[in-house]
Structure 1
Amino acid sequence: MSIQYKLYKKPEPGVAGGGNKKWYANAFLNQEVSIDDLVAKIEKFSTFSEADIRGVLIAMENVVKEEICNGNIVRLDVLGSFYPSLSSEGVEDEKDFTAANVKNVKIIYRPGKRITKALSQVDFKKKG
């Protein structure tokens, strides 16, 4: 397994004129893998039909969405966990804070140990 990368030049933050620009790697993403692709691959590793797999994936999406919207951590064993995270405006006094101060909500994903371990074992190749 390997991840390809491309290089890009980035200026120093906060330095007028960009300062000493350096080269950094950026992952080159080969292609997008769709639900159809995943279903076909899962079908090869199991005795479940395409319809069964699709049904479980759709149900899982609905349940994960509901649990995250209820403020819960969704832990999918070795796959990892998902949970909501907020950003807000600050206020001087705690009593002045209201829900209107919340400006953004996003989902944080933390990969499980097997996924993290797999990533630590990939090699890197420069995109030609």
Structure 2
Amino acid sequence: MIIFKVKESILKVGPRKGQKAYSAVPKAPNRFSSTWLVERIVRETSLSEGDVRNVLITLRNIVKEIVSLGGALDLGDIFSLRTVITSKMEANEKDVSVTSLKRPHIVVTWKESVRKSLGDIKVEVDNPARKKPKETEEKPAGGGGGQPHP
């Protein structure tokens, strides 16, 4: 579960510039370290810690090689990644050159099983302003007076 808190900000652009605005931000980041990942894989498989670390290092090296070649990599049921270099739109054909190319980036496409898990995320916003104050008025015993039920 991700628990959010209310954060006050001053808007810097747009028609409401300079006005206060409120948004929900996570109270604490849910970050899992590579050490946690290694320990989890060791616990759930028959691999040793050294084996898992070697696999991760090898995977990193393979990804670096594929990205430097401008290729794509499919990692099974997890995700696929591809290198993308887009181009500026030039007015004349002869103006298209290496300088027309934009900065390369990597596009990660999550597989369906991972995308479905996004719908399973439980969220809660801790907003004291929305909490109803407790009623101090006591109700009479017997259900509140009036006419008795026939």
Q: Would the TM-score normalized by the shorter structure come out above 0.5?
A: yes
Other-structure match for 2:56:
57
Verify: 1:114 aligned to 2:85, yes or no. Answer: no
Verify: 1:74 aligned to 2:73, yes or no. Answer: yes
Residues 1:94 and 1:7: Cα distance change in structure 2 (over 3 Å)? farther
Separation (CA, whole Å) in 2 of partners of 1:76 and 1:26? 31
Separation (CA, whole Å) in 2 of partners of 1:80 and 1:126? 30
Question: Which consecutive residues of structure 2, in runs of 5 or more, have no partner in the other structure?
Answer: 128-150
2:3 and 2:26 in contact (8 A); partners too: yes
Q: Residue 53 of structure 2 aligns to which amino acid in structure 1?
A: R
Verify: 1:48 aligned to 2:27, yes or no. Answer: no
Equivalences, count: 126
Larger radius of gyration: 2
State the percentage of identical aligned residues: 25
User: Taking structure 1 as the reference length, what is the TM-score of the superposition?
Assistant: 0.79
Residues 1:83 and 1:127: Cα distance change in structure 2 (over 3 Å)? farther
Other-structure match for 1:30:
29
User: Taking structure 2 as the reference length, what is the TM-score of the superposition?
Assistant: 0.69
Following superposition, the deviation at residue 52 of structure 1 comes to 0.3
Q: Residue 108 of structure 1 aligns to which amino acid in structure 2?
A: V
Residues 1:84 and 1:18: Cα distance change in structure 2 (over 3 Å)? same
What is the SS of the residue equivalent to 1:71?
Answer: coil
Question: Which consecutive residues of structure 1, in runs of 5 or more, have no partner in the other structure?
Answer: none
Q: Which has the higher helix share?
A: 1
Residues 1:110 and 1:26: Cα distance change in structure 2 (over 3 Å)? farther
Other-structure match for 2:135:
none
1:12 and 1:21 in contact (8 A); partners too: no
